[in-house]
Chains A and B, each alone.
Chain A
Amino acid sequence: MKKFKLSTVLLAIAAPLTAAVVSIIISSLAVLATKKSPMDAYTTMWEFGTTSGSLMQMLNTATPYYIAAIAIAITFRAGLFNIGVEGQLRLGAMFGAYFGAMFVLPPVVHIIAIMVIAMTIGGLWAAIAGYLKVKRGVSEVISTIMLNSLAGGLSSYLLANRFADRTTASNNLSTKEIPASGQFPDLMPLLNKLGVEDQPGGGVYGMLLFAITLGVLFWFVINRTRFGFELRASGANPIAARVSGVNSKRMTFVALALSGAVAGLAGLPAVLGDTHAFNMGFRTGIGFTAIAVALLGRNSAVGMAISALLFGFLEVSSRALELIDIAPETYVIMQGSILLSSVIAYEVVRRYKITLQSKELAKAVEA
């Protein structure tokens, strides 16, 4: 029995280990191709990436990734795929910032109000895909991609013509600033008390704490509630789910709308914690990188947290590569190769496990 346990441990780490090794090989080749030393690249990244200023930026980068990845994981668990997170988070952040600047409420209530607005907008936008899927049979993959492009056009139109604050003379179109009661406090004062010193350009988004809470909530709802069970059931085996009384059409709609609502929050860490307004500099691509984060993290709350941090680390630490004349874009190669090799490695290990189990079973039956 002891031997069996060892093999399960080996199997559990086999996939991530293989993926890590393969991706290091690929990234090293990419660096070597430019006639630079990969070792230099890695040590530079490690040294720069582990300074406390970089670690703070890593957290700030990872927070929106994590929230968006949870949104995507909700649909993955239901056997669906919401590629439209990019558009949902953009619209959510813009409407949240615009309406949030129109009123003043008591501190916590104000933030909650902005979040509710962002969630409503993101949820409604994704619900279009849900409606089209349930009522008209349109693949949510296609419709959410189209909705992304529509969200891009709509947000630039609304920002330029309706939402921008005309009183400030600046080239950067921006909504009005959200009053102090709606700004999410930074974690820096708290960290100061713990003995962390201020860093130039530093600060840690307060929404990091919210993201962690959301992760716990995601784990609980998916794994420990009836709703989560029905969601997973309709994803794993729609026919069996329907036979056992799960309304799979309703689940499809709810999963997409809920995913959109969570996605609507993913743009807020920067808006509420840093810019306090929605402007043209709003970061693009969060929703797409988050797909990779969700895939790498196997749709589990802990896994996605680790991969969000990893992606954040790679992104921030690779900036130092400029100093030794290597393209900082190397991190994209690293992220991509980690993603593909891990997806393949997990599939191979999963299949090997099944073969192993059926062998064990055969032995047990014979004995």
Chain B
Amino acid sequence: MKSKSLKALQYAALLIFILSIIRIFTGASDLTSIGTASAALLLSVPIALAGLGGLFSERSGVVNIGLEGMMIMGAWAGGMIGSKHGPWIGLFAAICFGSVGALLHAIATITFGVDHVVSGVAINIIAAGLVRYISTIFYKSGAWLGPSQSPDVASIGTNGLPVLSGGTYFGWKSPDVLSVLAEKHWFFISDTAAVIRGVTGDLSYVTMIAIAMIPLSVFILWRTAFGLRLRSAGEAPIAAESLGVNVYAMKYAGVLISGGLAGLGGGFLAIVAANHYQENQVAGRGYIGLAALLFGNYRPGGILMGAGLFGFADALQLRDSASIHALILLVVLILLFLVVRDFRKGKALKAGLTLAFASLSLWYFLAVDQLPGQLVTMTPYITTLLVMAVASQRLRMPAADGIPYRRGGMK
């Protein structure tokens, strides 16, 4: 375990190193700025929460495409109830509403044995429709300004790491060492400082809770009896049942926790990432959370990496499209690395094709000054697709994932 986190740190340092080089060459200073890092974190959190939700559900053996719908319910409840009763109650409502969506999914799949994907898609369609219907009613009654947007929600406080990244502790205003370092524009050192400052400073308390969910999930799933039983329901339900595990209960628990986390992710979007609910706010993040789960090979650490990658791509495209242009250079570098590797392995043809693609990308990088806005918005989705294409083959999903389970082997 120890050596693994060390390795992850090494990779992170390498990534920042490469990005610093690209920053120097292209002048795309937003690539490693504090703003980008903190935006990336803000955008990663809902996806990581959705991914964790998927983790609990799929570890118990229920595929959960309905995450998207549960996030929609959460976002809507967060905006609606949060604008009336304050952000914390709004977040609690988001968790509850996400769980209600999950309860529907659980009843359909576990009690009635409906195909998991079918039920999940139905949940997504219903959630979107329900939310639109009730929003229209609120709008008509005059409580909302528009049928697709809730009133504003009060914001939740922020804080940072003491000494390193600012914040206030019991009235004492902490210095902000990392920001000072980041201002210096020293190669690599300032970049590293900026990235760390971005993900540790001005953190919403909800963000801290969300980050804490990751080790907490590891603990619950791999260090408690409950976690063992839940995972056994997803790996070998018949064997688990024979040992006295209540498989139905475990699956219900998994799906409900899943809905709560997805709901929290939705609430985060409405309350922390924005300050109101808006139609289409979720915009496929539930699905991307699912992709992060698959990319992370059904493990919390992997989910965090997948969510971080997506969040970074999303933050860049939102903040500064010039940085996306610079990112093409990163693709070229990765491709060149693959060329060398393939050539050494004696795969000349594959290496040649990759080289051609790399030169094409380089040519595009040099020929175009800035990518058109509509294409830049596609970056996170292309990233997800490419990463899935590279990562999918080493996946090992829970053995009984997606198979409807009937107690006693009944059809």
Which A residues fall within an 8 A CB radius of B? 30, 33-34, 81, 83, 132, 136-139, 141-143, 145-150, 153-154, 156-157, 160-161, 288-289, 291-292, 295, 327, 329-330, 332-333, 335-337, 339-340, 343-344, 347-348, 351, 354-355
Question: Per-residue 0/1 for B349-379: is the Cβ within 8 Å of any A Cβ (1 yes, 0 no)?
Answer: 0000000000000000000000010110110
Q: Which of A139, A145, A292 contacts B122 (CB 8 A)?
A: A292
> Does any Cβ of A come within 8 Å of B140's Cβ?
yes
> Does any Cβ of A come within 8 Å of B212's Cβ?
no
Q: Is the Cβ of B129 less than 8 Å from the Cβ of A336?
A: yes
Q: Which of B113, B140, B291 contacts A351 (CB 8 A)?
A: B113
> Does any Cβ of A come within 8 Å of B392's Cβ?
yes
Q: Is the Cβ of A150 less than 8 Å from the Cβ of B378?
A: yes
Interface pairs (29), CB distance under 8 Å: A81-B117, A136-B393, A137-B395, A139-B392, A142-B290, A142-B291, A142-B384, A147-B385, A149-B381, A150-B381, A150-B385, A153-B378, A156-B374, A288-B125, A291-B125, A292-B122, A295-B118, A327-B136, A329-B133, A332-B130, A336-B126, A340-B104, A340-B126, A343-B108, A343-B118, A347-B112, A347-B113, A351-B113, A355-B411
Q: Is the interface of A mostly helix, strand, loop or mixed?
A: helix
Q: Is the Cβ of B122 less than 8 Å from the Cβ of A332?
A: no
Q: Is the Cβ of B129 less than 8 Å from the Cβ of A329?
A: yes
Q: Which of A30, A161, A337, A347 contacts B372 (CB 8 A)?
A: A161
Which B residues fall within an 8 A CB radius of A? 65, 104, 108, 112-115, 117-119, 121-123, 125-126, 128-130, 132-133, 136-137, 140, 284, 287, 290-291, 294, 372, 374-375, 377-378, 381-382, 384-385, 388-390, 392-393, 395, 410-411
Please measure, in the bound complex, the distance between the C-alpha atom of A150 and the C-alpha atom of B383, giving whole angstroms. 11
Q: Which of B113, B117, B137, B392 contacts A141 (CB 8 A)?
A: B117
Q: Is the Cβ of B378 less than 8 Å from the Cβ of A149?
A: yes
Please measure, in the bound complex, the distance between the C-alpha atom of A157 and the C-alpha atom of B373, giving whole angstroms. 8
Query: How far is the CB of A161 from the nearest CB of chain B, in Å?
Result: 6
Q: Is the Cβ of B125 less than 8 Å from the Cβ of A336?
A: yes
Q: Is the Cβ of B130 less than 8 Å from the Cβ of A336?
A: yes
Q: Is the Cβ of A138 less than 8 Å from the Cβ of B136?
A: no
Q: Which of A33, A137, A289, A337 contacts B393 (CB 8 A)?
A: A137
Q: Known: A142-B388, A291-B125. Is A330-B117 also a contact (CB below 8 A)? A: no
Query: How far is the CB of A71 from the nearest CB of chain B, in Å?
Result: 15
Q: Please, which residues of chain A bring their CB within 8 A of the CB of B119?
A: 340, 343
Q: Please, which residues of chain B bring their CB within 8 A of the CB of A337?
A: 126
Q: Please, which residues of chain A bring their CB within 8 A of the CB of B125?
A: 288-289, 291-292, 335-336, 339
Q: Please, which residues of chain B bring their CB within 8 A of the CB of A139?
A: 294, 388, 392
Q: Is the Cβ of B287 less than 8 Å from the Cβ of A348?
A: no
Query: How far is the CB of A320 from the nearest CB of chain B, in Å?
Result: 16
Query: How far is the CB of B111 from the nearest CB of chain A, in Å?
Result: 9
Q: Please, which residues of chain A bring their CB within 8 A of the CB of B390?
A: 136
Q: Please, which residues of chain B bring their CB within 8 A of the CB of A138?
A: 385, 388-389, 392
Q: Please, which residues of chain B bring their CB within 8 A of the CB of A149?
A: 284, 378, 381
The 6 closest A-B pairs by CB, nearest first: A332-B129, A157-B374, A336-B126, A153-B378, A327-B136, A149-B381
In the complex, the chain A residue whose C-beta lies closest to that of B108 is A344
Q: Please, which residues of chain B bring their CB within 8 A of the CB of A327?
A: 133, 136-137, 140
Q: Please, which residues of chain B bring their CB within 8 A of the CB of A344?
A: 108, 112, 114
Q: Please, which residues of chain A bring their CB within 8 A of the CB of B113?
A: 347, 351
In the complex, the chain A residue whose C-beta lies closest to that of B135 is A329
Q: Known: A143-B388, A157-B372. Is A333-B129 also a contact (CB below 8 A)? A: yes
Q: Please, which residues of chain A bring their CB within 8 A of the CB of B133?
A: 30, 327, 329-330, 332-333
With contacts A136-B388, A146-B388 known, what are 4 further pairs, Cβ within 8 A?
A145-B284, A149-B381, A337-B126, A347-B114
Query: How far is the CB of A42 from the nearest CB of chain B, in Å?
Result: 16
In the complex, the chain B residue whose C-beta lies closest to that of A357 is B411
